[in-house]
Amino acid sequence: MKDFWKRFSQNRGAVVGLVILLLVVVLSIVAPFIYTKSPWAMVQRPFIPPFTMDAFVLGTDPMGRDLAAGLAHGARVSLLVGLVSTVVSLLIGIPIGAIAGYFGGWVDDLLMRFTEFFQSVPSFALAVVLVAIFQPSIYSIVISIAVVSWPPVARLLRGEVMSLRSREFVEAAVLSGQTHSTIIWRQILPNTLSPIIVLASMMVAAAILIESSLSFLGLGDRNIMSWGYIIGAGRTVIRQAWWVSFFPGLAILLTVLALNLVGEGLNDALNPRLARKGR
Amino acid sequence: MRRLISASLALFMTTTAAFAQAVPGGKLNLIVQPEPPSIMIGTTTNGPALLVGGNIYESLLRYDENLKPEPSLAKSWTVSDDGLTYTFALQDGVKWHDGKPMTSADVLFSANDYLMKMQPRHRNLMTHVESVTAPDDKTVVFKLKEPFEAFIRGLAFYTMPVLPKHIYEGTDYATNPANDKPIGTGPFKFDEWKRGSYIHLVKNPDYYVKGKPYLDELYYQVIPDGASRSVAFETGNIDVVPGGSVENFDIPRLKDLPNTCTTEKGWEYFAPLSWLWLNNRKPPMDNVKFRQAVMYALDREFAKDVLWNGYGKVATGPLSSKLPFYKDVEPQYPHDVDKAKGLLKEIGYDGKPLKLLPLPYGETWQRWAEAVKQNLEEVGIPIEIEAADVAGWNQRTSNWEYDIAFTYLYQNGDPAIGVDRNYKTSQIAKGNPFNNVEGYSNPELDKLFDEAAVAYPASKRQELYDQAQKKLQEDVPVAWLLELGFPTIYNCKVQDIVTTASGLPESMRDAWIKK
């Protein structure tokens, strides 16, 4: 663990990313306590510029809603959507990749053709279609993001499992009479953990971006204040009130950047040999 | 004994002489949004088609901003004392754009034949009419079955356009090639339509009102992108932006440009009124106190000032204040959170969340739904906003699958034409999003509306409509929001841009450019 931390902290960008990420997490946790009112509440006159009123540091949007409250509550939505949809896509991608890689042959062919079917459609376009079909809601958004982001997981897992499959410790397990599921669970999957963690951190970032894009296009959940929604709603008044789109945009940029930096740091820390080769 | 209501043509000519400083010449660029499928307004009656087609086709009458009839193709008219016989004398020297003379035969053909086949709205009006006859070439007589006073306001260019008999008689109206090259009697003639680019109209030199129109050419530009429409006006490529053709959020910026004028006039006939359908069939909306609480909860001044840039007016009840027979009667429902909470407490409302269906017409309506949600949650009614496209909205409202839904409708010049359809029991029918969608039923009110429609003269109707408005405002079958204002934005050099109750489509014959 100490080693891991040492290697992680060697990547200075990763540490910065981690700090930003922690700030966002803290913000999303304390948001309901600082901003007790609903972020939808129209609290002041519209179009108050940022840094002019102490009570509304970031100003108000075209409806007189507090932009800072919207950002704080939006952090929760963005993180939640990112995490949940990533978990769901791991739950789809890992079994498919593991089974395909472990059994090989026609099972592999079948599962990989199925995966390629999803990969051949541009993922954002597919997400838009899915959300439009199932009516925009936070559930349909999470599911659509998961549905479009599991194929890389499956492909990565398949490759890892295939290379582990021929190792001696796996063959020993086969000889000792362990069942296939035990071998996959106990012997193989634990060894694939590090690339999955790295991939997952990038996927959270991608999921936040997809959710923001969907909300920007008006395909978000109408009852949830997310960063993408604020930008989408603020876009129409960008010439009168730049701050409405600017601050949530900055928030998305920083969060996604932080997640990518952390992902890279994790990669360094978890795959020390790979990392050194890279330098 | 007969009563002459109209001014003679001579008088008409002197009133126009008041605008004597008008100078002829010049061209105007207007926006038409979206591009209409056709500008033959006998068959296509959506807004953009009317905007262009209103220059080509005319009806017997037009209406001033108080909906008082003015001469159009009819130079004068009389109504018999029992309110049953309307006699119209046609203008002299009216010619179709192809040179043939326009006569009473064309009016008869349009009213009895063409429009009966092509327009449901006309069929509705004609249910009150027994016969249409022409004693001679210049006279048309409508005999009514009952004294339907609203009839005099049903003869606008888009409810009863006069169409050329010699072109359409005996043909298939929908596919007649003349639909692509419309022939009318109006002040402007069709010249060219470059699909996706512009529609070009030119001055009709043989127009029967001497000296008019003043303008030589009209270009109706097609610009599909909203931002580009605003920019086109900013750069001066467009002179006139008709109401509703740029997004609401662009309006404050455009109207502050130098040399830019706006007017809210020209919507008196349509009188668009917005409200929330409250599904009266479902609890808690079946409780009148709940519906009143909704009215008190809504901050409609905020919606007007913030979402509609201050245009429009807070609705007092079922009738737009632009409509004849409107009266500002009690009870009224100003924004009052405490009253709303009190009413909800009184009925023991359980706090069950309700669904709100916004109108899928763009940003303003989406924001409005968010504001209404906020208003209602403030008094303790949890709201979930649903998502629907235009087709979904139509389907949900017309099949009554909603709790609360936004809408706005045109009131079309008379409560017997555009208002009672939303409240009468006989108008409850699935499959139509424009009738009594809320499912309100009150025999007492049905009777009031039925009597008011055929009462004569107008003063009798007024009494009955006063009672109907009061009754409805007590019962709150729907939550009235705003009389919508769609300002026309134009370059200040254009004069007399709106001269009738239907606005731009009819007014180009009077418009001129200040040099």
What is the arithmetic mean of pLDDT over B329-351? 94
Tell whether the model's pLDDT for residue B248 goes beyond 90: no
Longest dimension (CA), chain B: 72
DSSP secondary structure string for all residues of B428-481: --TT-TTSSTT----HHHHHHHHHHHH-SSHHHHHHHHHHHHHHHHHH-SEEEE
Q: Any CB–CB contact under 8 A between A122 and chain B?
A: no
**Residue B28: both structure tokens together:** 């105007």
Q: Is B225 on the interface with A (CB under 8 A)?
A: no
A89-98, B56-65, B384-393 — which is least confidently predicted? B384-393
The candidate with the shortest Cα–Cα distance to A79, out of A244, A249, A221, A252, is A252
Q: Please name the member of A46, A218, A236 whose beta carbon is closest to the beta carbon of B306.
A: A46
Tokens of B102: 């326009």
Check pLDDT > 70 for residue B10: no
| Residues 3 through 42 of chain A touching chain B, CB cutoff 8 Å | 38, 40-42
Q: Please tell me if residue A222 touches chain B, with a CB cutoff of 8 Å.
A: yes
* Residue pLDDT, tens place only, A12-34: 999 999 999 999 999 999 999 98
Cα–Cα distance, B412 to B323 (Å, whole number): 8
Q: What is the pLDDT of residues B180-224, one digit of tens each?
A: 999 999 999 999 999 999 999 999 999 999 888 999 999 999 998
Of A40, A46, A233, the CB nearest to B374: A40
Nearest to A223 among B252, B378, B384 (CB): B384
Question: How many residues can be counted in chain A?
Answer: 279
Confidence of residue B446 (pLDDT cuts 50, 70, 90): very high
- What pLDDT, on a 0 to 100 scale, did the predictor assign at position B469? 95
Q: Could you report the predicted ipTM of this complex, rounded to two decimals? A: 0.77
pLDDT tens figures, A239-249: 888 999 999 99
Interface residue A162 vs chain B (CB under 8 A) = no
What proportions of chain A, in percent to the nearest 5, are helix, strand and coil? 75, 0, 20
Q: Is A110 on the interface with B (CB under 8 A)?
A: no
Please report which helix (H) or strand (E) contains residue B405, including its range. Answer: strand B404-409
Q: Which residues contact B305 (CB under 8 A, 6 or more apart)?
A: none
Kindly report the number of other CB atoms within 10 A of residue B27's CB atom.
15
- Please say whether the structural domain B60-166 has been given the CATH code 2.60.40.10: no
| C-alpha distance from B389 to closest chain A C-alpha (Å) | 10
Strand partners, B136: B139
CATH superfamily for A2-35+63-274 is MetI-like (1.10.3720.10)
Which of A111-125, B276-290, B387-401, B456-470 comes out lowest in average pLDDT? B387-401
What is the length of chain B? 515
Q: Residue B21 pLDDT > 70, yes or no?
A: yes
Show me where the domains of chain B are located.
19-56+186-267+487-514, 60-166, 272-484
pLDDT tens by residue, A144-196: 999 999 999 999 999 999 999 989 999 999 999 999 999 998 889 998 988 89
**Residue B43, pLDDT above cutoff 60:** yes
Which residue among B306, B386, B387 sits closest to A63, beta carbon to beta carbon? B306
Tell me: cis bond preceding A46? Omega within 30 of 0 counts: no
| Residues of chain A found within 8 Å of residue B369, distances taken between Cβ atoms | 222
Task: Answer whether B387 sits within 8 Å of A222, measured CB to CB.
Answer: yes
Q: How far apart are CA A71 and CA A79, in angstroms?
A: 12
User: Do the beta carbons of residue B78 and residue B87 sit within 8 Å?
Assistant: yes
Which tops the pLDDT comparison, A223 or B355? B355
Q: Give pLDDT tens digits for B380-432.
A: 999 999 988 888 888 999 999 999 999 999 998 899 988 999 999 998 988 88
> Is residue B263 pLDDT above 90, yes or no?
yes
Q: What is the CATH number of domain B19-56+186-267+487-514?
A: 3.40.190.10
User: How many distinct helices (H) and strands (E) make up chain B?
Assistant: 17, 22
CA distance B230 to chain A (A): 12
Q: Could you tell me the pTM of the whole model?
A: 0.83
Question: Alpha-carbon distance B411 to B268, whole Å?
Answer: 9
Q: Which residues pair with B144 in a beta bridge?
A: B129
Residue whose entry in the numeric block shows the structure tokens 């270009």: B219
Backbone region of residue B476 per phi and psi (left: phi > 0; alpha: psi in -120 to 50; beta: other values): left
Closest alpha carbon within chain A to B362:
A218
pLDDT (0 to 100) of residue A274:
58
| Helices marked H in A166-241 | 168-175, 180-182, 189-216, 227-235
Select the residue from A38, A40, A42 to test the B interface by mutation, using most B Cβ atoms within 10 A.
A42
Residue A277 is predicted with a pLDDT of: 46
How confident is residue B491, by pLDDT bands cut at 50, 70 and 90?
very high
Cα–Cα distance for residue pair B365/A218, rounded to 1 Å = 12
SS3 of A4-24: the string is HHHHHHHCHHHHHHHHHHHHH
- Provide, as residue numbers in chain B, all residues whose Cβ is less than 8 Å from the Cβ of A62: 249, 306, 367
For residues A37 and A42, give the distance between their C-alpha atoms in angstroms, rounded to a whole number: 10
A/B interface, count of CB pairs below 8 Å? 46
- Reply yes or no on whether the pLDDT at B25 is more than 80: yes
Q: A222: which chain B residues are within 8 Å (Cβ-Cβ)?
A: 358, 366, 369-370, 385-387
Residue A25 has which token pair?
A: 């997490």
Per-residue pLDDT band for B281 (boundaries 50, 70, 90) equals very high
For residue B30, what are the contacts with CB-CB under 8 A and spacing of at least 6?
A: B51, B218, B219, B220, B221, B238, B239, B240, B241, B242, B504
Sheet of B313-314, strands arranged across? B313-314, B478-483, B273-278, B404-409, B354-357, B383-385
Q: Which residues of B touch A41 (CB under 8 A)?
A: 374, 378
Cis peptide leading into residue B457 (ω within 30°): yes
Place of tokens 């959507």: A81
Contact B140, B104 (CB under 8 A): yes
Which pLDDT does position A272 carry in this prediction?
A: 65
In the predicted structure, residue A128 carries a pLDDT above the cut 50: yes
| pLDDT greater at residue B115 or residue B247 | B115
Average pLDDT for residues A95-102, to the nearest whole number?
94
- Choose the CATH number for B272-484 among 2.60.40.1080, 3.40.50.920, 3.10.105.10, 3.40.630.30: 3.10.105.10
Sort out which chain A residues have CB atoms less than 8 A from B386's CB and list them: 135, 222
Concatenating the DSSP letter of every residue in B205-260 gives: TT-SSTT----SEEEEE----HHHHHHHHHTTS-SEE-TTSS-GGGHHHHHTSTTE
CB atoms near residue A279 (< 10 Å): 5
Q: What is the pLDDT of residue B417?
A: 87
- Inform me whether the C-beta atom of residue B302 falls under 8 Å from chain A C-beta atoms: yes
- Two tokens at A61? 């949007």
Contact call for residues B437 and B409 (beta carbons, < 8 A): no
